[in-house]
Amino acid sequence: MGESITFWVLAVISVIAALGLVFSRRAVYSALMLGVVMISLAVLYAVQDAPFLAAVQIIVYTGAVMMLFLFVLMLVGVDSSDSLVETIRGQRFWAILAGLGFAALLALGIGNAVVGAPRGLAAATQAGNVPSLAELIFTRHVFAFEVTSALLITAALGAMVLAHRERSEPKPTQKDLSRQRFVAFGKTGKNPAPLPGPGTYARHNAIDMPALLPDGTISPLSVNRYIARYEESQGILPPEVARVLEQEEAAQRANGHSTPTLADEAGDDGPDTEPMTDEGVVAGRVVGARGEARSEEDGK
Amino acid sequence: MEPAEIIQHSGGAIGAAWLMIALPLVGAAVLLLGGRRTDKFGHLLGVLMAVASFVVAALSFVQLLGFAPGERRRGIELYEFIPGLAKMGLLVDPLSISFCLLITFVGSLIHVYSIGYMAHDPNRRRFFAYLNLFVAAMLLLVLADNYVALFVGWEGVGLASYLLIGFWQHKPSAATAAKKAFIVNRVGDFGLLIGIFTIFATFHTLAFDGVLANADKASSGTLTAIGLLLLVGACGKSAQLPLQSWLLDAMEGPTPVSALIHAATMVTAGVYLIVRSGPIFQGAETAQIVVTIVGVATLLAGAIIGTAKDDIKKALAGSTMSQIGYMVLAAGIGKAGYAFAIAHLITHGFFKADMFLGAGSVMHAMNDEVNMRKYGALRKVMPVTFVTFLIGYLAIIGFPLLSGYFTKDGIIETVMEHNAVLGWLAVLGAGITGFYMSRLVFMTFFGAKRWEPTAHPHESPAVMTWPLIILSIGAIGLGAFLVLGNRFMTFLAPAVGAPEEMPAFHPFSPTGLATLALVAAGAVFAWLKYGRAEVPALAPRGSFLTTFARRDLYGDALNEALFMRPGQWLTRLAVFFDNRGVDGLVNGLAAGIGGTSGRLRRVQTGFVRSYALSIFLGAALLAGAWLVVGNL
Amino acid sequence: MTTHYLVLSALLFAIGGVGVLVRRNAIVVFMCVELMLNACNLAFVTFARQNGNLDGQVIAFFVMIVAAAEVVIGLAIIVTIFRTRRSASVDDVSLLKY
């Protein structure tokens, strides 16, 4: 009875989470959903007399693999939300059809394959679950076990080889970098000093607090564009920040060029790259959104 | 009188008769394989080989005369040619030795002449190699003792003739003429080949003694078939109607070639074949009639063509056709005609070679101009050429006591006895001969100068005039020597047989007088038209008949209409079928596969998800199939 | 009860499969693959109990190891591709085609 309740609760949760994994726009949500599914499954393992696997599931999957996923997501860009518009004709229709058909067939097939009540593992695990498993792994499956160890080492090496990037030129020293900054200043007037940290002369040192210049106005360089965009979408962007961004936008339009940014300085990306961290463009979006928001306010 | 048995022989000059063939063959091989290293002495080696061959032939002839008349057919076995089918052997008998003497003697003179004629040609060595090759092939043709070896020589002659006609292959006309000669000869060769097949099927042997001795045992129908097929071969080689068209074009070759091949030797191969296969023709009356008709038709056609040509060599070529026609006509009559056919062949070999070489001498002097309308009055500047040519001319028209008088009139008399209609046609041909040969001589050597301004005619060097002189001596006396007292007929009798009673020679028989009168009339007419009157520099339009003759009696037009155009249509049809049918099928298949592949290619979108979808669908299908099968 | 587990496993597997087919973000695709592997593991564990045989759990254990190795390599590949193409979309990697 207890098992039934556990199963039904976890089954519903895991199916919903799996659907969420597939259909959420943001990759981070997908990862979290996957975590939910994995933990649910871990509990189901535990229920089914597999405490060792449940522990390994939590440790390896939710602990290591999921972290790896999130880590790579951060590397690649959290911001990259998937567009849900399908580009391959018929792909979605056939995918869902195949999924439904496959689920139905599998359920029919495996569902009917089992006859009778489960035998239970009591007989097989008289010495306890973990010792029994250990005995099997180190006796009957020892060869496979050794091979998996080789596989893991190979995988680790492979990952290193794949992720390693050979440096084609000597690493720039601080002197080189400084010289570059001043050359850029001479050419474009870009501020050679570091960006001002958030919250200077302010009550908070949180990242969403822009720095104040000595005259008390906001330094546009210190505005975090992600946060500004989020606040814009939520309608909680402070008016003085919005004003500063607007002024900057106007100044840019007057000059006909955008101020050089950190992203440009990174500089090794070609023209076809998605400018995820291009603050100039982000600022433009923010301002655009801001304008819409204002018209809404005017409407009110 | 029937031909004698063949006696196997070895030793002496006759035993070494194979040297006659081998020497020129070696000469050709050395000159062709030796390349430019032999340039310096090539012509001398060629002459040497031809002369050596003549020496062997002469020695053989002397040895042959030493035997009793009934033992003068000597067979020489060389080796097994095609095991079980044909032995390679030579047959030295009066017939073949006559040919050998003619070929090697005239051939040697022409070799000598060519030294001078081709002196400035950069490819003189090659020319002599081909000449030697030709002599070797022709000797193999006449010396062979079986039809296979004869055919080898026959083809060798065709090859040499192709090479020599197209010797100046840089001239498109020469290349075309060579091809034409080769193709037309192919037609004849094909007939001969089928004839040989039929002979083998009938007699189960190809040796002359086996075939000819048993000819009377075969049915007349078979013999007629064989005879007609051999006649086709003879027509091809001897330029008889209807395969005559190549001979006139063959004048594109250097003049010694025309003299050697197209007057003295090669074109006589057909006559040789008919005479050699005599027993076959004697058993097939229809075939004999056809042979005589072909001969008469050709002798008239050749004569008519000769009347209208302004090109000196083509006029002589027409005359050659005509004279070969006489020989074929005589050979068609049978035993009574063989001796006259061969005798005329030999004398014709002399005087026609004489005239061709004389024409070559004239051309040599006139910057290779061949148009007789641009000659005239050459008798004073080229006295030796003129005199020798004149002797040849008198010989061919049958001037009394010269060679042609004895041999040609002998043919006409014999034919007249055989069949009056053919006889009178032959007389008519002689009259036309008188006209066109006189025309040629008057236009060339008499009348006013009509030379091109650049022409500075001069007598040819001694190396060219001496052969002319020797040949003209033959043209004077050979006929009388051969015919008087039936000397040649008696000599040939062991080889080809002879009529029961030898013909008596009547110096002024009615037929002979009629012939002489007609010839004289033709000559006078020619004098009136071309000797006394001014010869226009451009050929006048002329009547329909003139055009008819100028166009070679529309032989080429007929060939084109009958064979070339249908052949072209057939070719086009085949090409069309090949392009549209065969290629269409193959290309269509290829295009179909290509198109299908091009469309199937689109399945490879490059999207991993598409591939994954197909895998997933496949897995679903498999699961479904497993369920269905599992529940059955 | 066993049937329920198996049906759940099948459902999760199918959902994971659809995710692989539908999503374009390579990382999400990978997550869906992981989901499918987990669904398989659930089936293994269930069968182990059904048959009273620990082998199923051992296999599930091996599957986890292989999945971990696969994730390591797969993510390394994704990072490498992203570095050169600035994109994590599987549709962008479609040069190998007709």
Q: Following DSSP, what letter does each residue of B54-102 receive, concatenated?
A: HHHHHHHHHHHHHS-GGG--EEEEEEEEETTTEEEEEEESHHHHHHHHH
Q: In this predicted structure, what is the pLDDT of residue A288?
A: 37
Select from B607, C30, C66 the least CA-distant residue to A72.
C30
Closest approach of C15 to chain A, Cα-based (Å): 7
CA angle C66–A51–A142, rounded 5-degree value: 45
What is the per-residue pLDDT across B479-498, written as a single tens digit (0 to 9) for each? 888 887 778 888 887 877 77
Q: Mean pLDDT, to the nearest integer, of B518-526? A: 86
Q: How far apart are CA A258 and CA A190, in angstroms?
A: 11
Task: Produce one character per residue of B325-344: b if its CB has 16 or more CB atoms within 10 Å, e if not.
Answer: bbbbbbbbbbbbbbbbbbbb
Select from A30, A31, A42, A33 the least CA-distant residue to A15.
A33
Half-sphere exposure of B66 (CA within 13 A, CB side): 10
User: Which residue in A114, A157, A273 has the most chain C C-beta atoms within 10 A of its own C-beta, making it the best mutation to test that interface?
Assistant: A114
List CB contacts (< 8 A) between A88 and chain C. Answer: 91
The total of other beta-carbon atoms located within 10 Å of residue C63's CB is 15
pLDDT surpasses 70 at B563: yes
Q: In this predicted structure, what is the pLDDT of residue B171?
A: 86
Least confident of A204-208, B75-79, B105-109, B388-392: A204-208
What does the CA dihedral B563, B569, B572, B578 come to, rounded to 10 degrees?
Answer: -90
List CB contacts (< 8 A) between B627 and chain A. Answer: 105, 108-109
For chain A, positions 127-146, list CB contacts with chain C under 8 A.
132-133, 136-137, 140-141, 144-145
Residue in A closest to B620 by C-alpha? A102
Residue in A closest to C70 by C-alpha? A155
Q: Any bridge partners for residue B82, and if so which?
A: B86
For residues C53 and A48, the answer to whether their CB atoms sit within 8 Å is no
Task: Please tell me which residue, A226 or B582, carries the higher pLDDT value.
Answer: B582
What percent of chain A shows pLDDT beyond 70?
Answer: 78
Q: Mean pLDDT, to the nearest integer, of B547-573? A: 81
Asked if A88 and B617 come within 8 Å (Cβ–Cβ), the reply is: no
For chain A, positions 15-74, list CB contacts with chain C under 8 A.
15, 18-19, 21-22, 27, 30-31, 34, 37-38, 41, 44-45, 48-50, 52-53, 56-57, 60-61, 64-65, 68-69, 72-73
**Angle between helix B383-397 and B335-365 (nearest 10):** 160
- Confidence label for A82 from pLDDT (cuts 50, 70 and 90): low
- Neighbors of chain A with 3 or more C-beta pairs under 8 Å: B, C
CA angle B172–B175–B181, rounded 5-degree value: 135
* Residue pairs spanning A and C at CB distance below 8 A: 253
Q: In this predicted structure, what is the pLDDT of residue A202?
A: 57
For residues B236 and B154, the answer to whether their CB atoms sit within 8 Å is no
pLDDT surpasses 90 at C60: yes
pLDDT surpasses 80 at B550: no
For residues C24 and C88, the answer to whether their CB atoms sit within 8 Å is no
Nearest to A137 among C2, C15, C58 (CB): C58
pLDDT surpasses 70 at A70: yes
The total of other beta-carbon atoms located within 10 Å of residue B71's CB is 15
* Residue pairs spanning B and C at CB distance below 8 A: 30
Asked if C17 and B616 come within 8 Å (Cβ–Cβ), the reply is: yes
A163 touches chain C (CB under 8 A): yes
pLDDT surpasses 60 at A80: no
> Mean pLDDT, chain B, as a whole number?
85
The total of other beta-carbon atoms located within 10 Å of residue C68's CB is 19
pLDDT surpasses 70 at B9: yes
What does the CA dihedral B254, B260, B266, B267 come to, rounded to 10 degrees?
Answer: 80
Asked if C94 and B616 come within 8 Å (Cβ–Cβ), the reply is: no
Asked if B619 and A108 come within 8 Å (Cβ–Cβ), the reply is: no
The H or E element spanning position B7 is strand B7-8
The total of other beta-carbon atoms located within 10 Å of residue C10's CB is 24
Task: Please tell me which residue, C35 or B370, carries the higher pLDDT value.
Answer: C35
pLDDT surpasses 50 at A265: no
With H, G, I as helix, E, B as strand and everything else as coil, classify residue B382: coil
Copy the structure tokens of residue B386. Answer: 């003129």
- Confidence label for A270 from pLDDT (cuts 50, 70 and 90): very low
Asked if C27 and A269 come within 8 Å (Cβ–Cβ), the reply is: no
Residue in C closest to A23 by C-alpha? C19
Q: In this predicted structure, what is the pLDDT of residue A199?
A: 59
The H or E element spanning position B524 is helix B510-526
User: Which residue in A91, A92, A100 has the most chain B C-beta atoms within 10 A of its own C-beta, making it the best mutation to test that interface?
Assistant: A91
pLDDT surpasses 80 at C78: yes
Asked if C90 and B604 come within 8 Å (Cβ–Cβ), the reply is: no
The total of other beta-carbon atoms located within 10 Å of residue B630's CB is 10
Task: Please tell me which residue, B263 or B298, carries the higher pLDDT value.
Answer: B298
Q: How far apart are CA A3 and CA A10, in angstroms?
A: 10
List CB contacts (< 8 A) between A73 and chain C. Answer: 27
Copy the structure tokens of residue B597. Answer: 């592949």
Q: How far apart are CA B443 and CA C5, in angstroms?
A: 124
- Confidence label for A268 from pLDDT (cuts 50, 70 and 90): very low
pLDDT surpasses 70 at B451: yes
Asked if B619 and A102 come within 8 Å (Cβ–Cβ), the reply is: yes
pLDDT surpasses 70 at A4: yes
A107 touches chain B (CB under 8 A): no
Asked if C98 and B613 come within 8 Å (Cβ–Cβ), the reply is: no
Q: In this predicted structure, what is the pLDDT of residue B580?
A: 87
Q: In this predicted structure, what is the pLDDT of residue A273?
A: 37
Provide ipTM, 2 decimals: 0.93
CA angle A46–A50–A52, rounded 5-degree value: 95
Q: In this predicted structure, what is the pLDDT of residue B76?
A: 82
Burial of B66 (0-12, 13-18, 19+ CB in 10 A): exposed
Q: In this predicted structure, what is the pLDDT of residue B93?
A: 86
With H, G, I as helix, E, B as strand and everything else as coil, classify residue A193: coil
- Confidence label for A277 from pLDDT (cuts 50, 70 and 90): very low
Runs of H (alpha helix) within A197-278: 225-234, 239-255, 262-266
DSSP conformation class of A70: H
Select from B135, B130, B118 the least CA-distant residue to B164.
B130
Q: Mean pLDDT, to the nearest integer, of B104-123? A: 87
Asked if A109 and B627 come within 8 Å (Cβ–Cβ), the reply is: yes
pLDDT surpasses 50 at B329: yes
pLDDT surpasses 60 at A282: no
What is the per-residue pLDDT across B182-214, written as a single tens digit (0 to 9) for each? 888 888 899 999 999 998 888 888 888 888 888
Closest approach of C84 to chain B, Cα-based (Å): 18
Q: Mean pLDDT, to the nearest integer, of B367-395? A: 84
Closest approach of B170 to chain C, Cα-based (Å): 55
Least confident of A23-32, A190-199, B293-302: A190-199
Least confident of A178-182, A223-227, B604-608, C74-78: A223-227
What is the per-residue pLDDT across B421-433, written as a single tens digit (0 to 9) for each? 888 888 888 888 8
A277 touches chain C (CB under 8 A): no
The H or E element spanning position B8 is strand B7-8
- Confidence label for A289 from pLDDT (cuts 50, 70 and 90): very low
C28 touches chain A (CB under 8 A): yes
Q: Mean pLDDT, to the nearest integer, of B156-182? A: 89
Asked if C7 and A107 come within 8 Å (Cβ–Cβ), the reply is: yes
Nearest to A102 among B605, B620, B630 (CB): B620
Least confident of A250-264, B119-133, B155-169: A250-264
